[in-house]
Amino acid sequence: MKKVLTIAGSDCSGGAGIQADLKTFSAHGVYGMSVITAVTAQNTQGVFAVQDISRDVIAQQIEAIFDDIEVDGVKVGMVSQIQTIEVIAEQLRRFCPPTIVVDPVMVSKSGYHLLNPEAEVTLIKELLPLAMLVTPNIPEAEVMTKTSIRTLEQMEEASKAIYQMGAKNVLLKGGHLEGDAIDLLYDGREFSRFFSTRIATKNTHGTGCTLSSAITANLASGNRLNEAVSMAKEYITIAIQHSLSIGKGVGPTHHFYSLYKKAGLIE
């Protein structure tokens, strides 16, 4: 069994962050491990508090895993502070996992800033050059490139700019544009487009975390990048189609719908 690590923040409501990542890993048949960078108080209505984990404890979590277990892939999610980013980058350079996917989580759907603005430059400088793939959404890409993105052509220009920051591949997610969702994958030479019909639901909590984790699991399992992205897109589309109306706000996706259906647990 392939073994995949998520380095991210904890979502106590279970829809995003570490919890979504581990559910996604399990749904893809890989063994999930976690390094917690921050503990958040959040639910379907918003993020209310964040407690960052110390640099030393983050380092020790990473060391404990890599000293004992062979890691086939790493997904990096919420990293809110400069020192957090620096220690993660140091450890990833030390242990050199074969696959690193960076999801540059900056702002929650409720508008809470999960990445300290002063840390944005550090994230770009330290983590992007280590990434096989970086997966920003449009608001995140706008922050990274200091540009406005309203069209597919502007998505392409932003992808090129982010590629120049050091990532080996860029998947710019187009879910914030009008119409059907189009994601662009740029490898420095050409673009691949991934289409999905927009689903009429408010329950999209944790979609970014889930997609990047699915891609990481697929890459760790030996799939080529285009295949890994395509499979992950199919997975997250099904998870959104059958999302869960849990809580009073933006509910989570259904990470195990396909498995539950095969097992006869749902109709």
Q: What is the pLDDT along the chain (267 residues), one digit of tens a residue?
A: 999 999 999 999 999 999 999 999 999 999 999 999 999 999 999 999 999 999 999 999 999 999 999 999 999 999 989 999 999 999 999 999 999 999 998 866 656 666 777 888 999 999 999 999 999 999 999 989 999 999 999 999 999 999 999 999 999 998 767 667 789 999 999 999 998 778 888 999 999 999 999 999 999 999 999 999 999 999 999 999 999 999 999 999 999 999 999 999 987
Q: Is 209 a catalytic site residue?
A: yes
How do strand 46-52 and strand 31-43 relate by DSSP bridges?
antiparallel
DSSP classification of residue 107: B
Token couple for 256: 């195990």
Contact criterion met (CB below 8 Å) for 49 and 41: yes
Q: Is 96 a catalytic site residue?
A: no
Q: Is 207 a catalytic site residue?
A: yes
CATH of 3-262 among 3.40.1190.20, 3.10.150.10, 1.10.3470.10, 3.40.1350.10 = 3.40.1190.20
Q: Is 173 a catalytic site residue?
A: yes
Catalytic position from the list 84, 173, 216, 251: 173
β-strand partners of 66: none
pLDDT of residue 220: 98
Considering the entire predicted model, what is its pTM? 0.95
Catalytic position from the list 208, 233, 251, 253: 208
Contact criterion met (CB below 8 Å) for 21 and 34: yes
Token couple for 227: 């295949």
Catalytic position from the list 204, 210, 216, 253: 204
pLDDT of residue 146: 92
Catalytic position from the list 9, 32, 209, 233: 209
Residue closest to 17 by CA, chosen among 57, 50, 66, 54: 50
Catalytic position from the list 6, 206, 210, 233: 206
pLDDT of residue 181: 76
pLDDT of residue 113: 67
Cα separation, 171 vs 136, whole angstroms:
7
Q: Is 40 a catalytic site residue?
A: no
Cα separation, 211 vs 206, whole angstroms:
9
Q: Is 206 a catalytic site residue?
A: yes
Return all residues near 157 (Cβ < 8 A) that are at least 6 apart: 147
Cα separation, 7 vs 95, whole angstroms:
14
Angstrom distances, CA of residue 145 to CA of 53, 127, 140, 148: 28, 16, 9, 8
pLDDT of residue 256: 96
Q: Tens digit of pLDDT for each residue in 72-126?
A: 999 999 998 999 999 999 999 999 999 999 999 886 665 666 677 788 899 999 9
In DSSP notation, 41-74 reads EEETTEEEEEEEPPHHHHHHHHHHHHTTS---EE
Token couple for 58: 């983050």
Catalytic position from the list 207, 210, 216, 253: 207
Contact criterion met (CB below 8 Å) for 143 and 178: no
Give buried/exposed letters for 128-143 (b at 16+ CB in 10 A, else e): bebbbbbbbbbebbbb
Work out the number of other CB atoms within 10 angstroms of the CB of residue 208.
Answer: 23
